[in-house]
Copies of this chain bind each other. A is one copy, B any other.
Amino acid sequence: MSDGNNARLLDPLFTTDAMREVFSDRATLQGMLDFEAALARALVATGQAPAGVLTAIEAACHEEAFDIASIGYAAASAGNLAIPLIAQLTRAVNRANKDAGAFVHFGATSQDAIDTGRVLQIRSGLALIEAELARISERLAALASEHAGTAMAGRTWMQQASPITLGLKFAGWLDAIERSRTRMAEVKLRALALQFGGSVGTLAALGANGTEVAAELGRDLKLAVPAISWHAHRDRMCEVVAAAAIAVGTAGKIARDFSLMSQTEVAEAFEPHEAGRGGSSTMAHKRNPVGCAVILSAAARTPGMVATMLAAMPQEHERGLGGWHAEWETLPEIFLAASGALYHLSAILDGITIDRDKMLENLSAQSGLAMTEPFTVALTKFESRENAKKIAEALARTAAESGQPLRDVILKDPQMQKFFKVADVEHFLNPKNFNGSAQAMIEKVLAARMPTASPDAQKKERSK
């Protein structure tokens, strides 16, 4: 039976300790207990319960005191965790103050406790994600500046296309990370909402005082108080996981690029070297990109989980059957995977090794055809764009088939000799001279970046 910790053997690889704690079984129970304690305070504050019951209830709302195994087994019969938890809680409260038990969970339904507890976990989970995104953003901003002039091959359809700068690539990654940061801020506005409706959403057990208690409860828990309960309307949860999965997808895009750059034949960038990292059980030379593996794995796993959450939306009537249950294991799994993916991305960027020479050298691969476009552009001074493309295509083919560098083919061509001096060719074949607006784009991305907390604040956040 669960010990409340429910760590899995592969958790150190696939997630972070901080996120695992946020969604541990113990934290799930504590989330519900935080709801119950706050409800008691709200009942007292609004005159629905005598002040005297508060001490006993608040004192009992700590998960350490609960027999977690028996709650799990009882949930198998009750159908949810709240019923056995509240039963144990009520007994404990009554032991301390025999009048107080009557006010435990008063006015609420199981789902109020479960959903609000989950929202509290989501709040912590989103804070971790935002902090990691901020760290990634900072690191990428530094890298984009540093490598604004580092030439490398731009690649499309998995083929070298035309030159870019490494800074531009980093800026593209950064821009997408920034959008994820904005998205996180937006979904919080809707998602961090109290769930409180009682058995069927009317708060009828509280008579006419339901909305007053709800307002107080939301204030206490620092959660938005929705106009109406949302027991069977799960769009809030779906939008949170979609935003998390999109962040993972962006991490996956970066890891895809990174793993392609790390290939033996490409060898442009590498994950941090650490003793034992990415070794092989048989091959002494291997340095496997472990971080990329984790990120790409998360990017493969989260889409199906989001589909589960979306497919579970048509929940029946006031509180549904099965759809709600499908969320219980799925949502935490998405946060766990997201946390692992972002952590590994952060770690890769912290310890990244970049080989600028190899980047330049790769631009000479396959006869240096990646410089065909600047050559074509240069030709348009003398020829129509259509003709220029045809000429460039022909010389590129010659280079490819003969294995000669494009440079040599151009220089040897009688017509080209008429158009260009050697220095001209050197100039337009130099990747540094074909960057267009790359620098301007990098600057725009950097200028638009959301502010991040100080590094110290970040460290604190992460170790929480």
Contact = CB atoms under 8 A, between A and B. Distances in A.
Given A75-B9, A172-B233, A436 B316 contact: no
A161 B9 contact: no
A246 B154 CA distance: 33
Interface string A203-239: 1111110110010000000000011111111111011
B292 A206 contact: no
25 contacts: A10-B328, A102-B380, A153-B264, A157-B319, A158-B320, A161-B200, A162-B283, A172-B232, A186-B186, A204-B374, A204-B437, A235-B249, A252-B314, A255-B314, A257-B317, A265-B362, A284-B393, A293-B325, A296-B322, A296-B325, A304-B308, A306-B307, A306-B310, A307-B307, A329-B333
Interface residues of A, number: 197
A59 interface: no
A319 B162 contact: no
Given A311-B304, A437-B203, A81 B10 contact: yes
Given A154-B201, A307-B311, 13 more contacts: A2-B8, A154-B200, A157-B293, A168-B201, A199-B280, A227-B445, A228-B445, A238-B242, A260-B317, A294-B322, A300-B312, A303-B309, A305-B308
Interface in A271-297: 274, 276-290, 292-297
A75 B279 CA distance: 10
Contacts of A234: 249, 253
A158 B296 CA distance: 12
A147 interface: no
A285 B396 contact: yes
A441 interface: yes
B210 A235 contact: no
Contacts of A171: 227-228
Interface stretch (A119-127, A364-372, A455-463): A364-372
Interface stretch (A37-45, A135-143, A175-183, A410-418): A175-183
A376 B284 contact: yes
